[in-house]
Structure 1
Amino acid sequence: MKWLIFFMLTLTANFSFAQKFNFPKLIAQTTKPINTIPKNWKVIDSAQGDLNNDNLQDLVLILEHNTAINEDRAYGNYEIELITETQKPRILAVYFKDANNRYRLSAQNNDFILRSEEGGKMGDPLKGLRIEDNKFMLSFEGGNDWRWKLNYEFEYLQKQWNLVSANNVYYHKDSGEMVDKQYDFVDRTIKTVVGSIFKRNISNNVDEDILVFGSPRTLNDFKKPWTWEVTKDNYL
């Protein structure tokens, strides 16, 4: 009997492993952006604009799976603080357009876009995707009484998508108490604004310092918001 139980448990474990969700590999090149959307996925946001300074309209897509699955998501240190959550996976895709109207996949990231259940009482934290000045920007917002805003700017530099600036705001919805950290990874500065979110330009304390970090953080190695400890106890 024991060997039968062990055998059944082994089969169950193998079946569970076999059912592990696999992200699709997006089409590397196409003339029709709609062809980039895999079966059982849909576009939930998109932006068009010049990302590589060639005066052509490149494309950024955010895709979402049609059904929820169990995902291991990170909060803090990505290596050790994984939380399993049931939600719909999302994909960030960046396509360059060429003179022949072909779209070439420049980046696919399966982790960075926050899921619809990761915004707390405020609901879906995804608040915006846009392209400006050859960069694409992502905005997130969430929380309960204490709320947060995250803004990221990525730019294509030396054949990789570098994080060039970011903004992390933490505030109370009623009192307006606020800490706003503004990161510039090009000029290597960090500006911290402490005060009230209701009086952003009045009586707030502003401190600016040198931002010390190693190599630039890219979209490929930036697993998810809140997982990069830029400076001690300051996460993006």
Structure 2
Amino acid sequence: MKYFFLCFFIGLKVCAAQTFSYPKFVKQGRTLEKLVPQNWKIIDTAYGDLNNDQTDDLAFVVEYHLPIAENRAYGDNETELIKEFQKPRVLAIYFKNPQSGNFAFALQNNNFILRAHEGGGMGDPFKNINIANQNLQLSFEGGNNWRWKLDYDFNYRNKDWSLILANNIYYHIGSGEMTEKKYNFLDRRTYLVTGNIFNRNSGNQRTEEVLYFSDLRTFDTFKKPWTWEITKDNFL
């Protein structure tokens, strides 16, 4: 009997992996609850103006109720090499129509949000989603003794979502040894701080460098965190 239930459970997982497809979000709705697909749960939401119409738009992250087999990119922005069994996450953005009061679909991204087991010893790396200064802000954190923090600011311009700011902190939880890199893609500048995370206002070294790249990255050209080799052996 135990063997039967084990086979049944495995069969359910295999079936879920075989039949899974990412949701197709509704084009519009008046409330958040009306926008969330069946079998997906909300893990974070943010309200704020994203398209400069003085109306609060909506961004949220949802997670599927079952783990499935996913191919996830690691180490570059081109290939998908690592297969993992985990719950998918999706980022969705809706613009609010100031006349009708409805939220209108603006973006669905199936790749960028890190999954619950992609943060190392610290557990779930997804920290929050926020909207400020018309930017969509996504924050992640993970690691073990050596820890990392990643913050990304995407801005809606020319009918696309461009990465305009990023921050990457890498530090040791015991010694406090730290490297922090702040990226301003509009000014094409990198600001580097090295030293100790417990002594960030004094004693740390600060340098500024020109940032070389061709075009602003978008959700279409930046698959997920850690996949943009922005300089040699330096991933963002």
Query: What is the TM-score of this pair, normalised by structure 1?
Result: 0.90
SS at structure 2 position matched to 1:45: strand
Deviation beyond 6 Å, 4+ runs, structure 1: none
Aligned length: 222
Tell me how far apart the structure 2 counterparts of residues 81 and 217 of structure 1 sit (CA, whole Å). 18
Partner of 1:191: 191
Q: Are residues 1:213 and 2:213 paired?
A: yes
Instruction: Assess if the C-alpha contact under 8 Å between 2:164 and 2:185 holds in 1.
Output: yes
Alignment of 1:48-67 (within 5 A): 48-67=47-66
CA positional deviation for 1:161:
0.6
Alignment of 1:72-83 (within 5 A): 72-80=71-79, 82-83=81-82
SS at structure 2 position matched to 1:94: strand
Partner of 1:4: none
Alignment of 1:1-236 (within 5 A): 19=18, 21-80=20-79, 82-99=81-98, 100-236=100-236
State the one-letter code of the partner of 2:221. D
* Deviation per residue, 1:135-157 (Å, 9 max, x gap): 11111000001110000001111
* Deviation per residue, 1:32-53 (Å, 9 max, x gap): 3212111110111000011111
Tell me how far apart the structure 1 counterparts of residues 118 and 228 of structure 2 sit (CA, whole Å). 17
Q: Residues 205 and 103 of structure 1: is their aligned pair in 2 closer, same or farther, counting only changes over 3 Å?
A: same
CA positional deviation for 1:80:
3.7
Q: Mean Cα displacement is larger for which, 42-51 or 226-235?
A: 226-235
Instruction: Assess if the C-alpha contact under 8 Å between 2:68 and 2:86 holds in 1.
Output: yes
SS at structure 1 position matched to 2:198: helix
Q: Residues 26 and 190 of structure 1: is their aligned pair in 2 closer, same or farther, counting only changes over 3 Å?
A: same
CA positional deviation for 1:20:
5.1
Flag structure 2 segments of 5+ consecutive residues without an equivalent. 1-13
Flag structure 1 segments of 5+ consecutive residues without an equivalent. 1-14
CA positional deviation for 1:110:
0.3
State the one-letter code of the partner of 2:217. R
Q: In angstroms, what is the RMSD of aligned CA positions?
A: 1.7
State the one-letter code of the partner of 2:160. Q
CA positional deviation for 1:132:
0.6
State the one-letter code of the partner of 1:114. L
- Using the aligned pairs only, state the percent identity: 52
CA positional deviation for 1:192:
0.9
Instruction: Assess if the C-alpha contact under 8 Å between 2:154 and 2:163 holds in 1.
Output: yes
SS at structure 1 position matched to 2:42: strand
Tell me how far apart the structure 2 counterparts of residues 115 and 54 of structure 1 sit (CA, whole Å). 32
Tell me how far apart the structure 2 counterparts of residues 209 and 174 of structure 1 sit (CA, whole Å). 29
Q: Residues 211 and 196 of structure 1: is their aligned pair in 2 closer, same or farther, counting only changes over 3 Å?
A: same
Q: Mean Cα displacement is larger for which, 23-32 or 183-192?
A: 23-32
SS at structure 1 position matched to 2:108: strand
Query: What is the TM-score of this pair, normalised by structure 2?
Result: 0.90
Tell me how far apart the structure 2 counterparts of residues 67 and 221 of structure 1 sit (CA, whole Å). 28
Tell me how far apart the structure 2 counterparts of residues 222 and 107 of structure 1 sit (CA, whole Å). 15
CA positional deviation for 1:129:
1.1
CA positional deviation for 1:220:
2.3
Tell me how far apart the structure 2 counterparts of residues 80 and 222 of structure 1 sit (CA, whole Å). 12
